[in-house]
Amino acid sequence: MKEGSEELFEGDIAGIDPFALTDRNAVVDEAELWPNATVYYEIGYKLRKVKDIIQEAIDEYESKTCIRFKPKTPATNDYVKFTIEGGCWSNVGRKGGEQEISLSEGCHDKVSAVHEIGHALGLWHEHSRSDRDDYLEIIWDNIKPGAERNFLKLRPWENNLLGEEFDYKSIMLYGEYAFAKDRNSMTMKPKKEGVVIGLINDKPGLSESDVRRLNKLYECDGNVRPPPPDIPDFKCDFEKDMCGFENHENNYKTNWIRENGTLAGRTGSYIYVNAEDASFRKIRITSPFFASYGRRKACLTFDTYFNGGGVVSLDISIHNIHTSKLVMKHVEKSEEWQTVKVNIDVEGYVKFSLDARTRKSDGEGIIAIDNIIYAMRECE
């Protein structure tokens, strides 16, 4: 197996934005697992001569896990298509509809097929684990320029390690010379004395740990999938900067401004919109994108000073790649800071926006925001 392509994230993973990382070692979102541990598949015409090799890889999974592979039918919506599409790669987990596993000439062997099927089932590379630095030394100077992203390490809450320790024998671990600048430069060095990783092709197939992970992931034979790790809350008090919040490009002349001072008895930094500076328009500021890590509920909490004749409303909306939804319209005025909590339904990557609506003709007014907390759980 050719150990990776620079164009694909982590060498052989398709459909991933390397700068918007989600879960690692195994998918966290249950929606990305194959329902009832059943994978429907089709072997494309280009791979007709190696279908026996693909079948051997399938047999490896079926003999050691409860996962079953069935040929697709005309009624099948979600399935894997084995094909040749330039390189050796796969998506991670079930993506919906037809998804491809590409096995080009350098991957016409059982071990390569087992590796790529592992991705489609929801396994990521072993060297991406958040604890990998306890087991591997990444020799950055030996990595081919431009290939560094293949060695990015995940933060603890971006993994579901499924209760398994790092496994040097995993079929999902590249060899010591993967993405090297030359044949003599090691890029990954085991920290455990006496361990040699070797090439993927030298491995017999799934390791014992690989099998346990898959049986936990798909809850085979009474196994229980461990819950994903807790995600730390996103907190912003605007004391240092804007925390990644950005004014919308369509704001007309007026933007949210970061200020340090005293407002309604509170001293510190906050952001605000002054009604005197705006007509009846929507002045929007948006958060960074947040991954939901398989969660479906989030809580947005913030403090707001919302007062004056020119203040109309503060609208909170949630956005993903395809849709936008208004989740709250705050209109309660007060001469003191108020704490607002909003329950939000989330899926995939989302961001939220805060829209200040003011009417200059009705007089003065300020909408200010401080102490934003975005937590992946329902509001208490």
CB 303 within 8 A of CB 371: yes
115 is annotated as contributing to ligand binding = yes
Q: What angle do CA 294, 28, 3 make, to 5 degrees?
A: 135
CB 174 within 8 A of CB 38: no
Separation CA 301–CA 287 (nearest Å) = 13
Residue 183 backbone class (left: φ over 0; alpha: ψ -120 to 50; beta: rest): alpha
CB 324 within 8 A of CB 283: no
- Show Cβ contacts of residue 141 under 8 Å, excluding neighbours closer than 6 positions: none
Length of the chain (residues): 380
Separation CA 115–CA 100 (nearest Å) = 14
CB 112 within 8 A of CB 103: yes
330 is annotated as contributing to ligand binding = no
The terminus-to-terminus CA distance of the chain in angstroms comes to 51
Which residues are the active-site residues? 116
125 is annotated as contributing to ligand binding = yes
Which residue, 138, 290, 119, is CA-closest to 214?
119
Which residue, 140, 130, 201, 207, is CA-closest to 168?
207
Binding positions for Zn(2+) are 115, 119, 125
**Which residues does the annotation place in the binding site?**
115, 119, 125
